């Protein structure tokens, strides 16, 4: 007898948690996207520790110092300095904070609005559904960029204002997706069972519906996060978003625009950072969708 | 079909009215529009004069209905900055935006449909992966930054195309690429999944079994059906493109309606802002309405719902 008894793991097979972990770490998009995103988050959190200079400190003697890979680049300013001599690397690092903050806050505000509307429409149906669908149609008819530009121009641009405007505008996708998912779940047996057991509507919404639409919610949240980051950069680029001297990436591109002819790196650097962040979030969102709700893949 | 059309028309009108009310109320976000228009150095008398001139002294709902009645007839008042009728400004600028929109749409479709078809014909091949990579990168590319980088490369490093202006066809090349590229990933994914679905269907197998040439099966039988959702997406995307043109036109200084929108927003030219916003919204509503009708006509199952 040289056979050993099978271990518990061999008998039971991998647990759902292990399967999920394997799927996540085996998914190239999640690993790459997650890796880049993690770096950006660390950059934002540790900004005061890792930024070599104060992002607002101007040094008019050292204006437009080129980055290290160009002929006149120096190690004192690895990514060079901008038109008023502020260290570009430090501004880039602090800029991650602004993008992350806007993305998270706008996705959160619009998520609360859109999810409540979508879940209500899907669960109650009838007139509630009609009203919500109508509101979604109206919202979709309004061009986001134009409305946010106009509102910011009228009310005045600031970080808080951009977050608020984007949060109040970007709820449509949440509402559409949550409505459809809730409609699917509503007709399932366990909802009927909960109703028969006398659970309150709030209890059913919070404990039966919401946990089961969470996967789709996370996917939409990543998409809207990226959408908000992109729109903030566009608004700031057009001069109607976050105001100077804040180191917003969009604003940095806008400020570098006048030097586009000789110092193209001034726009190339913040633009690449923005591109990397959007790429990471999109990869992450696609990956989460692949792993959790493969049937929604388009 | 008739009942469905009537229902959709009613919905479109209701949405248009709601949107117009929202657009109108934007003006009141600043508090008192007359004070905002008059500027910081205005005195009481100036503000009163502006109130009377623009009708701000009347009740809000009267102002709204007057404005809406004018808007329906194409009468939006005078631009505060240009001192010209707003409608003249828009009709002068709209052709540029429309040209850009049509070119960008053509570019997007010409790029994405062949790529989508190839990707679906050879799933998981190199070309499929390349197309997917293009889509993933395209979705993450901020359009205004892409535009600036194209200017750097094609207007400064290799000066073959102009960086700004709207005088000749060359001025439209870079804006078309930027605006069109933006819509490409969505079209490509839709063509690919649609065609993959259709290619595995029974009637395509029948067509193959009876010995039709592969090209005929692909173009005459499969693609025709797979392309339906792309057509309706194209209508909606055209609406998005017009909005996207605000950023593109600003970067390239193309004097279209999008540029006008940005100019009037940054100069607090409220009548022009409202007019452009309303027209863009109405345009989008009409496009989605047409897309819905097209869908219902092509797919009778939708009419019942």
Domains of chain B: 89-267 (1.10.3720.10)
* Tens of pLDDT, residues B214-253: 888 888 778 877 877 788 788 888 888 888 888 899 888 8
Q: B94-133 burial by CB neighbour count: b if 16+ within 10 A, else e? A: bebbebbbebbbebbbebbbebbbbbbbeeeeeebeebbe
> CB-based contact (8 Å) between A298 and chain B?
yes
Residue A241's nearest CA partner among A142, A165, A144 is A165
Q: What is the pLDDT of residue B255?
A: 87
Confidence at residue B38, expressed as pLDDT on a 0 to 100 scale: 67
pLDDT (tens digit per residue) in B45-91: 777 777 777 777 777 788 888 888 888 887 777 787 788 888 888 88
User: ipTM of this model?
Assistant: 0.84
Long-range contact pairs involving B260-264 (C-beta distance under 8 Å, separation at least 24) = B260/B89, B260/B90, B260/B93, B261/A146, B261/A149, B262/A149, B262/A238, B263/B81, B264/B79, B264/B81
- B149 chain-A contacts, CB cut-off 8 A: 264, 267-268, 271
Residue A245 has pLDDT above 50, yes or no: yes
Q: What is the dihedral of CA B29, A103, A160, A49, to 10 degrees?
A: -160
Instruction: Give the best residue of B124, B145, B154 to mutate against chain A (max A CB count within 10 A).
Output: B145
Assigned token pair, B283: 């345009």
Q: How many CB atoms lie within 10 A of CB A203?
A: 12
CA distance A13 to chain B (A): 30
Chain pair A-B, CB pairs under 8 angstroms: 125
Q: Which of A226, A238, A274 sits opposite B262 (nearest CB)?
A: A238
Q: Do B18 and A138 touch (CB under 8 A)?
A: yes
What gap in Å lies between CA A265 and CA A262, rounded to an integer?
9
Q: What is the pLDDT of residue A298?
A: 44
Which of A133, A150, A223, A255 is the best mutation test for B, with the most CBs of B within 10 A?
A150
Task: Chain A: give the shortest CA distance to residue B259, in Å.
Answer: 11
Contact B265 A261 (CB under 8 A): no
- Quick one: which of B228, B278, B255, B299 has its CA closest to B20? B278
CB contact under 8 Å between B244 and A257, yes or no, is no
d(CA B188, CA B131): 8
Q: Which helix (H) or strand (E) holds A258?
A: none
Comparing CA positions, the residue from B84, B20, B77, B95 lying closest to residue B249 is B95
8 Å CB contact of A154 and B189: no
DSSP H helices in A187-260: 189-196, 201-203, 210-237, 249-256
Residue A295 in this model has a pLDDT that exceeds 60? no
Spatial contact of B154 and B160, defined as CB atoms under 8 Å apart: yes
Name the 3-class secondary structure at A184: helix
Separation CA B303–CA A208 (nearest Å): 33
Q: Do B281 and A142 touch (CB under 8 A)?
A: yes
pLDDT at position B241 is 84
C-alpha distance from residue B74 to each of B15, B67, B265 (Å): 19, 10, 20
Within 240-269 of A, beta carbons closer than 8 Å to B belong to 240, 253, 257, 260-261, 264, 267-268
Would you call B53 helix, strand, or coil by DSSP? helix
Whether the Cβ atoms of residue B256 and residue B102 lie closer than 8 Å to each other? no
* 8 Å CB contact between A85 and A55: no
Does A283 touch chain B if contact means CB atoms closer than 8 Å? yes
User: What is the per-residue pLDDT across A30-62, written as a single tens digit (0 to 9) for each?
Assistant: 899 999 999 999 999 998 888 888 888 888 887
B139 contact residues in A (CB cutoff 8 A): 278, 282
Can you tell me which residue has the tokens 């395209």? B138
CA distance B30 to B36: 7
Nearest CA in chain B to A260: B152
Other C-beta atoms closer than 10 Å to the C-beta of B25 total 11
- Give the torsion through C-alpha atoms of B34, B39, B43, B44, to 10 deg: 10
Query: Residue A245: is the preceding peptide bond cis (ω within 30°)?
Result: yes
Q: What is the pLDDT of residue A156?
A: 80
Cα(A228)–Cα(A97) distance, integer angstroms:
14
CA distance B20 to B64: 9
The 3-state secondary structure of A105-159 reads HHHHHHHHHHHHHHHHHHHHCHHHHHHHHHHHHHHHHCCHHHHHHHHHHHHCCCH
Q: What DSSP character marks residue A259?
A: G
HSE on the CB side for A59, CA within 13 Å? 16
Which chain B residues touch A260 with a CB distance below 8 Å?
A: 148, 151-152, 156
Name the residue among B30, B141, B265 with its Cβ closest to that of A149. Answer: B265
What are the pLDDT digits (tens) for B248-293?
998 888 888 888 988 888 888 888 888 888 888 988 899 888 888 8
A102 touching B (Cβ < 8 Å): no
How far is it, in rounded angstroms, from Cα A67 to Cα A71?
Answer: 9
In the numeric block, the tokens 């007139």 are attached to A127
Contact A4, A259 (CB under 8 A): no
Angstrom distance (rounded) from CA B228 to CA B263:
38
pLDDT value of position B70: 80
Separation between Cα atoms, residue A257 and residue A263, nearest integer Å: 9
Question: Which residues, 6 or more positions from A198, have their beta carbon under 8 angstroms from its beta carbon?
Answer: none
Query: Are B148 and A267 inside 8 Å of each other by CB?
Result: yes
Candidate from A150, A153, A257 with C-beta closest to B148: A257
Quick check: pTM over 0.95? no
Q: Does A282 touch chain B (CB under 8 A)?
A: yes
Closest-CA residue of chain B to A141: B281
SS (H, E, C) B140-174: HCCHHHHHHHHHHHHHHHCCCCCCCCCCCHHHHHH
Q: Do B140 and A278 touch (CB under 8 A)?
A: yes
* pLDDT for position A276: 94
Cβ neighbours of A151 in B, within 8 Å: 26, 29
| pLDDT tops 90 at residue B29 | no
């Amino acid at each position: 007898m040289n056979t050993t008894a099978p271990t518990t793991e061999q008998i039971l097979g991998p647990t759902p948690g292990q399967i999920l972990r394997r799927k996540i770490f085996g998914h190239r998009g999640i690993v790459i996207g997650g890796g880049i995103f993690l770096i950006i988050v660390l950059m934002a959190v540790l900004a005061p520790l890792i930024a070599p200079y104060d992002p607002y400190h101007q040094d008019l003697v050292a204006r437009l110092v080129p980055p290290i890979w160009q002929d006149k680049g120096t190690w004192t300013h690895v990514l060079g300095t901008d038109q008023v001599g502020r260290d570009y690397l430090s501004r880039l690092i602090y800029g991650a904070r602004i993008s992350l903050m806007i993305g998270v806050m706008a996705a959160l505000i619009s998520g609360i609005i859109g999810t409540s509307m979508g879940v209500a429409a899907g669960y109650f149906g009838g007139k509630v559904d009609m009203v919500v669908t109508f509101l979604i149609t109206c919202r979709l008819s309004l061009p986001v960029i134009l409305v946010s530009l106009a509102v910011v121009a009228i009310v005045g641009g600031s970080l808080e204002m951009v977050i608020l405007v984007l949060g109040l505008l970007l709820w449509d996708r949440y509402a559409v997706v949550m409505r459809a998912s809730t409609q699917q779940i509503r007709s399932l047996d366990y909802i009927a069972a909960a109703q028969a057991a006398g659970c309150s509507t709030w209890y059913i919404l919070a404990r039966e519906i919401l946990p089961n639409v969470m996967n789709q919610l996370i996917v939409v949240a990543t998409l809207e996060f990226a959408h908000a980051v992109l729109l903030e950069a566009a608004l700031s680029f057009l001069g109607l978003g976050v105001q100077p001297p804040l180191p917003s990436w969009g604003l940095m591109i806008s400020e570098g625009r006048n030097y586009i002819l000789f110092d193209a790196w001034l726009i190339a650097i913040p633009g690449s950072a923005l591109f990397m962040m959007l790429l990471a979030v999109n990869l992450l969102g696609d990956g989460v969708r692949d792993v959790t709700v493969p049937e929604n893949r388009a | 079909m008739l009942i469905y059309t009537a229902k959709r028309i009613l919905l479109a009108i209701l949405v248009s009215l709601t949107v117009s009310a929202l657009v109108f109320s934007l003006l009141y976000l600043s508090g008192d529009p007359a004070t905002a228009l008059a500027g910081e150095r205005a005195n009481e008398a100036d503000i009163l004069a502006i109130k009377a001139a623009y009708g701000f002294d009347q009740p809000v709902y009267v102002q709204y209905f007057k404005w809406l009645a004018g808007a329906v007839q194409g009468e939006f008042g005078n631009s505060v900055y240009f001192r010209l009728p707003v409608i003249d400004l828009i009709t002068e600028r709209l052709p540029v935006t429309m040209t850009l929109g049509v070119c960008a749409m053509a570019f997007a479709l010409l790029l994405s449909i062949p790529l989508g078809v190839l990707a679906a014909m050879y799933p998981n091949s190199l070309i499929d992966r390349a197309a997917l990579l293009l889509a993933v990168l395209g979705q993450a590319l901020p359009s205004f930054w892409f535009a600036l980088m194209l200017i750097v490369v094609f207007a400064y490093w290799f000066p073959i195309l102009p960086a700004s202006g709207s005088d000749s066809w060359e001025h439209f090349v870079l804006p078309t690429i930027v605006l069109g590229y933006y819509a490409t990933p969505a079209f490509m994914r839709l063509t690919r999944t649609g065609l993959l679905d259709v290619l595995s269907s029974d009637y395509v197998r029948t067509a193959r079994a009876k010995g039709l040439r592969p090209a005929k099966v692909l173009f005459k039988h499969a693609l025709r059906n797979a392309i339906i959702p792309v057509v309706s997406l194209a209508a909606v995307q055209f609406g998005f493109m017009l909005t996207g043109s605000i950023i593109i036109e600003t970067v390239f200084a193309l004097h279209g309606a999008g540029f006008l929108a940005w100019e009037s927003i940054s100069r607090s030219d409220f009548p022009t802002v409202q007019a452009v916003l309303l027209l863009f919204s109405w345009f989008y509503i009409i496009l989605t309405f047409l897309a819905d009708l097209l869908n219902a006509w092509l797919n009778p199952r939708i009419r019942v719902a």
